[in-house]
């Protein structure tokens, strides 16, 4: 779907469908007279994602006008606008609309960027492997229409590009994350990253099994032992021409291309969803594409430890002890707590590469879903300044985050007499003890951990997004880098 920024009086724009935003309890002056009968009938209420499609509206050149309810005015912000743009384009699918336009009434940079990102995200479908696609569902192009005194502002072009680039990166990550595990192995995940990096101009390398052995990545290699598929540690580097500081930000994403649980095998019901255990890794790959195109003034390294967790004859066993890259020994008491093991070595490697600030994201624990449901991602941090930066970036992106506790008492749950640390802390506070495990390897380096187990995937389509991967927390990754000072 092609996106473009259009500077024109939207009433004069000829298109298949013109999208106009209307708040709950309000009537648009430009629609009140031509649609008086519809307003009086109560058909248009302005509730969020409530849509009314009207043909041949007097005073508008568009063949159809779609009135998109934005909800209560006091709750309206760029996050709502972003979701509304996505929902509107999804509503128009199957309506025979090939060319549409979205009128931005308040043409600020933030609003233009939000609409561009939302339209791109809403246009995505998880149907890449279908042999037949209904062409009636396709919207080929959407114009983001700005008019009035603000339309000439050149900064709107940059805002449009920012939103479009983030939206395209989201869709790249979703294209990767939706692939089935027979097609997406650690090796093919690395090839996806390599293709992206070469096109975006990023430095790129992959550490294979032999290199990991030489370095001593026993935690990551232990998880990979049960699979015939070799592991890969994907490393992508972005270097600005004129960095504002010596800081180097690391974005680290869990890349388990399929997770059976290993010897601590999962129940069969729902196991098919474990192909999305690499969604955070896909989000890092997409974020690095956006960062390469948007060119923030901070150096960024993206790392994706990629493995398949299988119960093969060589798989690690509960009670095995592995030596991590940091030199710390880990008692593996549950092989289904594998994400923290591969992240531990990736975190240590990021530090060895000179990264000064660390952010990792992972579909790590079911416990975070119990705590926060599918609404917010859980955030844990060792550094207040980096936490504040992360939360500000998430607010801008519209990706909901909730700060979780990381008290010293959670470390007590990971004590063992046989090794330096064990990889599971028991039933209670599971998301917190998992985060505390990772903190052990971040040590004194400023670090944020984001558990997206409840937010990285939609079991059913919503009004604004298709079923499948959401791309979270890609937009927050990108905004963190863009806002770095």
**Domain identity same for 107 and 247:** no
**Domain identity same for 131 and 233:** no
Residue 467 phi/psi, 5-degree rounding, is: -60, 140
Integer Cα distance of 450 and 453 in angstroms: 9
Integer Cα distance of 133 and 155 in angstroms: 38
The total number of structural domains in the chain stands at 2
Q: Domain boundary at 94, 125, 146, which?
A: 146
Residue 103, domain member (yes or no):
yes
Q: Domain boundary at 146, 166, 193, which?
A: 146
User: Is it true that the peptide bond before 473 is cis, omega within 30 degrees of 0?
Assistant: yes
Residue 171, domain member (yes or no):
no
**Domain identity same for 186 and 142:** no
Cα dihedral 280/286/290/291 (nearest 10): 50
Return the ∠ at Cα 409 (arms to 404 and 415), rounded to 5°.
120
**Domain identity same for 342 and 246:** yes
Residue 161, domain member (yes or no):
no
**Domain identity same for 282 and 364:** yes
Number of other residues whose CB lies within 10 A of the CB of residue 295: 11
Q: Domain boundary at 126, 146, 166, which?
A: 146
Integer Cα distance of 287 and 37 in angstroms: 47
Which residue range is the domain that position 89 belongs to? 2-146
* Chain centre to alpha carbon of residue 278: 11
**Domain identity same for 100 and 231:** no
Instruction: State the CATH number of the domain containing residue 61.
Output: 3.40.220.10
Residue 32, domain member (yes or no):
yes
**Domain identity same for 304 and 366:** yes
CB 446 within 8 A of CB 386: yes
**Domain identity same for 286 and 415:** yes
Residue 153, domain member (yes or no):
no
Residue 160, domain member (yes or no):
no
| DSSP character at residue 267 | P
Residue 183, domain member (yes or no):
yes
**Domain identity same for 135 and 273:** no
**Domain identity same for 120 and 219:** no
Give the catalytic positions in this structure.
266, 340
Q: Edge-to-edge strand order for the sheet containing 2-7?
A: 2-7, 141-146, 99-103, 17-22, 64-69, 51-55
**Domain identity same for 202 and 316:** yes
CB 311 within 8 A of CB 224: no
**Domain identity same for 295 and 422:** yes
Instruction: State the CATH number of the domain containing residue 254.
Output: 3.40.630.10
Residue 159, domain member (yes or no):
no
The pLDDT tens digits along the chain (485 residues) read 999 999 999 999 999 999 999 999 999 999 989 999 999 888 899 999 999 999 999 999 999 999 999 999 999 999 999 999 999 999 999 899 999 999 999 999 999 999 999 999 999 999 988 888 665 567 999 999 998 766 778 899 999 999 999 999 999 999 999 999 999 999 999 999 999 999 999 999 999 999 999 999 999 999 999 999 999 999 999 999 999 999 999 999 999 999 999 999 999 999 999 999 999 999 999 999 999 999 999 999 999 999 999 999 999 999 999 999 999 999 999 999 999 999 999 999 999 999 999 999 999 999 999 999 999 999 999 999 999 999 999 999 999 999 999 999 999 999 999 999 999 998 899 999 999 999 999 999 999 999 999 999 999 999 999 999 999 999 999 999 999 98
Q: For the whole prediction, is pTM greater than 0.85?
A: yes
């Amino acid at each position: 779907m092609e996106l473009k920024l259009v500077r024109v009086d939207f009433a004069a724009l000829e298109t298949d469908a013109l999208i106009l935003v209307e708040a709950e309890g309000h009537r648009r002056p430009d629609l009140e007279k031509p649609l008086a009968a519809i307003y009086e009938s109560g058909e248009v209420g302005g509730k969020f994602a409530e849509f009314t499609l009207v043909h041949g509206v007097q005073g508008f050149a568009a063949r159809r006008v779609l009135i998109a309810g934005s909800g209560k005015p006091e709750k309206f912000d760029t996050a709502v606008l972003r979701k509304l743009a996505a929902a509107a384009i999804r509503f128009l699918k199957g309506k025979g609309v090939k060319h549409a336009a979205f009128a931005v009434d308040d043409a600020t940079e933030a609003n233009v960027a939000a609409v561009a990102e939302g339209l791109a995200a809403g246009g995505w479908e998880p149907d890449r492997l279908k042999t037949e696609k209904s062409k009636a569902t396709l919207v080929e192009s959407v114009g983001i229409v700005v008019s009035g005194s603000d339309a000439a502002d050149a900064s709107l072009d940059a805002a449009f590009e920012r939103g479009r680039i983030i939206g395209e990166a989201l869709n790249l990550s979703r294209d990767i994350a939706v692939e089935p595990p027979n097609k997406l192995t650690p090796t093919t995940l690395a090839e996806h990253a390599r293709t992206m990096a070469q096109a975006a101009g990023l430095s790129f390398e992959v550490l294979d099994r032999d290199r990991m052995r030489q370095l001593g990545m026993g935690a990551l290699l232990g998880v990979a032992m049960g699979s015939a598929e070799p592991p890969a540690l994907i490393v992508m580097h972005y270097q600005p021409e004129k960095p504002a500081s010596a800081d180097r930000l690391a974005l680290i994403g869990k890349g388990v291309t399929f997770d059976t649980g290993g010897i601590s095998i999962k129940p069969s019901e729902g196991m098919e969803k474990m192909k999305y255990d690499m969604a955070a890794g896909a989000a890092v790959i997409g974020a690095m594409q956006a960062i390469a195109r948007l060119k923030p003034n901070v150096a960024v390294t993206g790392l994706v430890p990629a493995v398949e967790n299988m119960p093969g004859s060589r798989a690690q066993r509960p009670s095995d002890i592995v030596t991590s890259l940091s030199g710390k020994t880990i008692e593996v008491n549950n092989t289904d707590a594998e994400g923290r093991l591969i992240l531990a070595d990736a975190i240590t490697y990021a530090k060895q590469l000179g990264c000064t600030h660390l952010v990792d994201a992972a579909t790590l624990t079911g416990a975070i879903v119990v705590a926060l449901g599918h609404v917010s991602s859980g955030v844990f941090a060792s550094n207040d300044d980096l936490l504040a930066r992360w939360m500000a970036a998430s607010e801008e992106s519209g990706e909901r985050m909730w700060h979780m506790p990381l008290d010293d008492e959670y470390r007590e749950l990971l004590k063992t007499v046989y090794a330096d640390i064990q990889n599971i802390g028991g039933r209670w506070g599971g998301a917190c003890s998992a985060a505390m495990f990772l903190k052990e390897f971040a040590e004194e380096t400023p670090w944020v951990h984001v558990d997206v187990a409840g937010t990285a995937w939609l079991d059913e389509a919503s009004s604004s997004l298709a079923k499948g991967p959401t791309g979270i927390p890609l937009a927050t990754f990108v905004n963190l880098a863009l806002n770095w000072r």
